[in-house]
Amino acid sequence: MKVLITGAGGQLGLDLLDAFADTGVTGLTSADLDISDEAAVTSAIRDLEPAVVINAGAWTDVDGCEADPGRAHRVNALGPWWLARACADRDATLVTISTDYVFSGVAPGGVGRPAAGTGAGAEPRGWTEFDPIDPINAYGRSKWAGEQLVRQTTPRHHIVRTAWLCGARGGNFVRTMLRLARERGAVAVVDDQFGSPTFTRDLAAALRRLAVSGRYGTLNLTNAGRASWFDLAAATFELAGLDVELTRQSSTELNRPAPRPAWSVLDTTHADTTGIGPLPAWRDGLAGLLRELDELR
């Protein structure tokens, strides 16, 4: 099986290279292949002749996308489209990664989300693959456009929605928390956004199962369980044995340029019942990441 990974220098891309190391895998970083360049994409796929293309490339700077939605669209929507067109021409399978940020964050079914800070109250369900899409920021809109262009272009697609990615080799929340803990000893973290923390080692292994499954379509894939950013920070400090003054903050206080969904937990029933999942519980995934970073106490 010849596999091509685009965006191979990112945190997921690097773990995908490891997950496919025993196959004929080629990784192209953004410097090797700009997925928003249609001619370059066409010739790369023509020359390399992959059976499976896994696109881990994206512009993931959510606030950056808000400031430059044109660039977000070029990379996150047109990039997957050019890949889908080139794959369709060669009967190759395309796996492309999408996001929980395609959802509005207002809990599905209109159920209230857990009371901020406590995790108590009526527990809403996670978003399924069939829930209505309603992105609230430019990043989410660009990723949703990319999903649709892929769907319309090739039936041999796996669109994988995942969330809150953390890997050993990339910028992410867990690594930021570890750095801030050491630099400041005190951190304030938002406790009113809930999602599905996901660890790129676990996701890469599941993507390998999916890529050869022939089960085309859209699939949610995350580690199991839900957390707030506050929960994730608290678990990081606990497992790393760091004594940090951790305080709660609201999204309004943080006041970032792009709004974030308040409830973006994904329902992984389809992945879990078809053998692609389940992925480990997020605390176990976190422990695995900390072990890899030599930070597990």
Ligand X SMILES: NC(=O)c1ccc[n+]([C@@H]2O[C@H](COP(=O)([O-])OP(=O)(O)OC[C@H]3O[C@@H](n4cnc5c(N)ncnc54)[C@H](OP(=O)(O)O)[C@@H]3O)[C@@H](O)[C@H]2O)c1
User: How far, in Å, CA of 38 to CA of 50, rounded?
Assistant: 17
Take residue 222 and report the two structure tokens written for it: 């995350």
CA 48 to chain centre: 26
Q: Confirm or reject binding of residue 10 to ligand X (CB under 6 A).
A: yes
Tell me the per-residue interface mask from 140 to 179 with ligand X, x by CB under 6 A, - otherwise: ---x------------------xxxx----x---------
Q: Confirm or reject binding of residue 104 to ligand X (CB under 6 A).
A: no
Take residue 22 and report the two structure tokens written for it: 């025993």
Which of 11/193 has CB closer to ligand X? Answer: 11
Choose the binding region for ligand X from 33-41, 213-221, 226-234, 240-248 (rule: CB under 6 A): 33-41
Take residue 172 and report the two structure tokens written for it: 């992410």
Which of 245/290 has CB closer to ligand X? Answer: 290
Which of 13/124 has CB closer to ligand X? Answer: 13
Q: What are phi and psi of 280, to 5 degrees?
A: -60, 160
Q: Confirm or reject binding of residue 137 to ligand X (CB under 6 A).
A: no
Which of 72/111 has CB closer to ligand X? Answer: 72
Q: Confirm or reject binding of residue 27 to ligand X (CB under 6 A).
A: no
Which of 79/108 has CB closer to ligand X? Answer: 79
Contact 250, 226 (CB under 8 A): no
Q: Are strands 165-166 and 186-190 parallel, antiparallel or unpaired?
A: unpaired
Q: Confirm or reject binding of residue 102 to ligand X (CB under 6 A).
A: no
Active-site residue, selected from the candidate residues 101, 139, 237, 282:
139
Between the alpha carbon of residue 294 and those of residues 9, 111, 170, 183, the distances in Å are 21, 40, 15, 18
Sort 113 into a burial class: Cβ within 10 Å, 0-12 / 13-18 / 19+: buried
User: How far, in Å, CA of 178 to CA of 191, rounded?
Assistant: 18
Take residue 82 and report the two structure tokens written for it: 């050019």
| Of the candidate residues 17, 53, 58, 286, the single one contacting ligand X (CB under 6 A) | 58
- What is the residue type of 130? F
Q: Confirm or reject binding of residue 4 to ligand X (CB under 6 A).
A: no
| Of the candidate residues 27, 57, 108, 285, the single one contacting ligand X (CB under 6 A) | 57
Q: What are phi and psi of 76, to 5 degrees?
A: -90, -20
| Of the candidate residues 19, 20, 30, 93, the single one contacting ligand X (CB under 6 A) | 30
CB of 132 to ligand X, least distance (A): 19
Active site residue 101: no
CA 267 to chain centre: 14
Question: Which residues are known to be catalytic?
Answer: 139
Residues lying near ligand X in the complex (CB under 6 A) are found at: 6-7, 9-13, 30, 33-36, 56-60, 75, 79, 97, 99, 143, 162-165, 170
